[in-house]
Amino acid sequence: MASSILSDCSSARLLPLRRALLPQRLPRIRPCPALASPRRLLAAARPQLLPRPPRMDSVPAAAASSAESVTVSADASAKVIDGKLVAKQVREEIAVEVSRMKDAIGIVPGLAVILVGSRKDSQTYVRNKKKACEAVGIKSYEVNLPEDSSEEEVIKHIASFNSDPSVHGILVQLPLPRHMNDENILNAVSIEKDVDGFHPLNIGRLAMQGRDPFFVPCTPKGCMELLHRYGVEIKGKRAVVIGRSNIVGMPAALLLQKANATVSIVHSQTKNPEEITRQADIVIAAVGVANLVRGNWIKSGAAIIDVGINPVDDPESPRGYRLVGDVCYEEASKVAGAITPVPGGVGPMTIAMLLSNTLESAKRIHKFK
Ligand SMILES: NC(=O)C1=CN([C@@H]2O[C@H](COP(=O)(O)OP(=O)(O)OC[C@H]3O[C@@H](n4cnc5c(N)ncnc54)[C@H](OP(=O)(O)O)[C@@H]3O)[C@@H](O)[C@H]2O)C=CC1
Ligand SMILES: Nc1nc(=O)c2c([nH]1)NC[C@@H]1CN(c3ccc(C(=O)N[C@@H](CCC(=O)O)C(=O)O)cc3)C=[N+]21
């Protein structure tokens, strides 16, 4: 039966994004037996009475009350942290600010995106970023370079955007082709325009006490924004970040630490990851392994932020696959206090934070308050 394919994570097959274009036998997904279809569960778990998350600048107190107003479904005990909803609200706030800035000083924020190669997933992300820019009034500039471009060519475009006054943010879509050195390319982006927050100087400032980066990387910033807007207390809490990549896990751990959590990082060489994760009040999972985090890894009532975006075979879906997170949603939502779905959790927030960083950059460059 078609629905049984969806009702049991163990029968789905993993389709890694990075290898999405290669014809190959797909590895089996980690077993995560579900009691309900993920689709049905997700629909049921969505709050009926959507909370109106508070404005970005009025975070903790108001957020707590909005989180309390989330309707808990009969299927799952956890509150759904609705990234799609929060991202929409953030975009609305940004649109207001973009138009206020344009009216006051005649400046429109600009975002330049450089895409090298023709990976389907990267093309989709870039297209979505462009659409999101247009919707809030940010001007977008796009450069598409062939897969076999040289590092020098990419750096030449970065240099030209660095000195273009109509561009306030520059993003080089990752992953880059294998023959390129990410570091050389990311180092070329002016730190004042590094809206991804990937420049080593931005990361360094993020790691230091008493210093602030020009930009906080979008995905970890989106995770923190969700925790704040849903009133999740961070100070003094135990947090576990699973994954330590430069773009998600490591900066997420730094941000949690800055917010006064006691942070542990779990990675591929960690022994007993379940035991460590079970101690956490807050879990951020950024691994890239579908359903790695099972229900029994989770402390009752914990807040779970699932960053993972893992395509798994789904003949029922028009695309032939669907996306699942690093956390077994069906199990986790019965134990956790709050949880982000995939899709509709961190992903939309990443794009919203990119817009937010671009606006912030334009405001800083033009000294607009
Ligand atoms: N929602 C969003 O907006 C975004 C989602 N993503 C998604 O987030 C996930 C992670 O992305 P990214 O950080 O770039 O991935 P990377 O592959 O760069 O890093 C993965 C991390 O997970 C660790 N890891 C791998 N296997 C295990 C394991 N079995 N147990 C514990 N840790 C493990 C690795 O450890 P080690 O360091 O030891 O190798 C590494 O630190 C992916 O699914 C990606 O698609 C990424 C960016 C944005
Ligand atoms: N320089 C750079 N900066 C990035 O921020 C960056 C990058 N490169 N390379 C790739 C990763 C991945 N990433 C995502 C953004 C949005 C969604 C997103 O919106 N996801 C939707 C689903 C989209 C769908 O259905 O396909 C969701 O989770 O609801 C996911 C992943 C940004 N990344």
Q: Do domains 2-84+216-351 and 105-213 have the same CATH topology?
A: yes
Any residues with CB less than 8 A from the CB of 124 and at least 6 apart, and which?
Answer: none
Q: Percentage of residues in the chain with pLDDT exceeding 90?
A: 79
Residues forming beta bridges with residue 303, ordered by sequence position: 282, 338
- 215 CA to middle of ligand 2, Å? 18
- Domain boundaries in the chain? 2-84+216-351, 105-213
ipTM of the complex, rounded to two decimals: 0.99
Torsion over CA: 123, 125, 128, 133 (sign): negative
CATH of domain 105-213: 3.40.50.10860
Coarse DSSP helix, strand, coil percentages of the chain, rounded to the nearest 5 percent: 40, 15, 45
Ligand lying closest to the C-alpha of residue 218:
2
Q: Coil, helix or strand for 33?
A: strand
Distances (CA, A) of 316 to 1, 4, 13, 88: 11, 11, 13, 28
Residue predicted with more confidence, 56 or 194: 194
CATH superfamily of 2-84+216-351: NAD(P)-binding Rossmann-like Domain (3.40.50.720)
User: Other C-beta atoms within 10 Å of 93: how many?
Assistant: 18
- The residue contributing the CA closest to ligand 1 atom 26 is 268
Tens of pLDDT, residues 206-256: 999 999 999 999 999 999 999 999 999 999 999 999 999 999 999 999 999
Question: Does the annotation mark 196 as catalytic?
Answer: yes
Alpha helices per DSSP H over 179-291 = 182-188, 200-207, 218-229, 249-258, 273-277
Is 221 an annotated catalytic residue?
A: no
The pLDDT value recorded for residue 67 is 40
Q: Are strands 282-285 and 310-313 parallel, antiparallel or unpaired?
A: unpaired
pLDDT digits over 304-349, tens only?
999 999 999 999 999 999 999 999 999 999 999 999 999 999 999 9
The whole-number pLDDT of residue 74 equals 47
How would residue 77 be classed by pLDDT, with cut points 50, 70 and 90?
A: confident
Taking Cα atoms as reference points, which of 221, 252, 248, 251 lies closest to residue 239?
Answer: 252
pTM of the model: 0.87
Task: List, for residues 134-171, the tens digit of each pLDDT value.
Answer: 999 999 999 999 999 999 999 999 999 999 999 999 99
Two structure tokens written together for 260: 């006064």
